[in-house]
Amino acid sequence: MIKKSMFAVLAATGLALTACGGGGASAGAANGSGGDKITMGFAQVGAESGWRTANTKSVQESAKEAGVDLKFSDAQQKQENQIKAIRSFVQQKVDVIAFSPVVESGWDTVLKEAKDAKIPVILTDRAVDSKDTSLYKTFLGSDFVAEGKKAGEWLVEQSKSSEPVNIVEIQGTTGSAPANDRKQGFEDAIKDDPDLKIVASQSGDFTRSGGKQVMEAFLKNNPDIDVVFAHNDDEGLGAIEAIEAAGKVPGKDIKIITIDAVKDGMTALSNGKINFIVECNPLLGDQLMDLAKKVVAGQDVPQRVVTEETTFTMEQAKQVLSSRQY
State the nearest-atom distance from the C-beta of 51 to ligand GZL, in Å: 3
Nearest-CB residue for ligand GZL: 51
Q: Does 304 bind ligand GZL (CB under 6 A)?
A: no
Q: Which of 68, 126, 143, 211 binds ligand GZL (CB under 6 A)?
A: 126
State the nearest-atom distance from the C-beta of 5 to ligand GZL, in Å: 28
CB closer to ligand GZL out of 226 and 234? 234
Separation between Cα atoms, residue 37 and residue 255, nearest integer Å: 50
Q: Does 28 bind ligand GZL (CB under 6 A)?
A: no
Q: Which of 45-53, 160-168, 192-200, 222-230 is the region at the interface with ligand GZL (rule: CB under 6 A)?
A: 45-53
Q: Which of residues 128-157 bind ligand GZL (CB under 6 A)?
A: 141-142
Strands (E), the chain: 15-18, 39-44, 69-74, 96-99, 121-124, 138-141, 165-171, 196-203, 227-230, 255-260, 276-279, 304-307, 311-312
Q: Which of 5-13, 48-56, 290-298, 318-326 is the region at the interface with ligand GZL (rule: CB under 6 A)?
A: 48-56
Q: Which of residues 211-270 bind ligand GZL (CB under 6 A)?
A: 232, 234, 259-260
85, 29 contact by CB (below 8 A): no
CB-CB neighbours of 320 under 10 Å: 13
Q: Which of 15-23, 49-57, 149-157, 291-299 is the region at the interface with ligand GZL (rule: CB under 6 A)?
A: 49-57
Q: Does 279 bind ligand GZL (CB under 6 A)?
A: no
Q: Which of 248, 308, 241 is nearest to 268 (CA)?
A: 241
Q: Does 125 bind ligand GZL (CB under 6 A)?
A: yes
Q: Which of 47-55, 84-92, 103-111, 159-167 is the region at the interface with ligand GZL (rule: CB under 6 A)?
A: 47-55
Q: Does 18 bind ligand GZL (CB under 6 A)?
A: no
Q: Which of residues 165-184 bind ligand GZL (CB under 6 A)?
A: 178
Q: What is the identity of the amino acid at 161?
A: S
Q: Does 59 bind ligand GZL (CB under 6 A)?
A: no
Q: Does 51 bind ligand GZL (CB under 6 A)?
A: yes
Strands (E), 108-162: 121-124, 138-141
Q: Does 56 bind ligand GZL (CB under 6 A)?
A: no
Q: Does 309 bind ligand GZL (CB under 6 A)?
A: no
Q: What is the DSSP letter of 133?
A: G
280, 51 contact by CB (below 8 A): yes
**Chain centroid, CA 160 distance in Å:** 30
Separation between Cα atoms, residue 140 and residue 222, nearest integer Å: 39
Q: Which of 110, 158, 161, 156 is nearest to 136 (CA)?
A: 110
Burial (CB count within 10 angstroms: exposed 0-12, middle 13-18, buried 19+), residue 181: buried
State the nearest-atom distance from the C-beta of 171 to ligand GZL, in Å: 11
What is the C-alpha radius of gyration for the chain, rounded to an integer number of angstroms? 20
Interacting residues toward ligand GZL by CB under 6 A = 48-49, 51-52, 125-126, 141-142, 178, 206, 232, 234, 259-260, 280
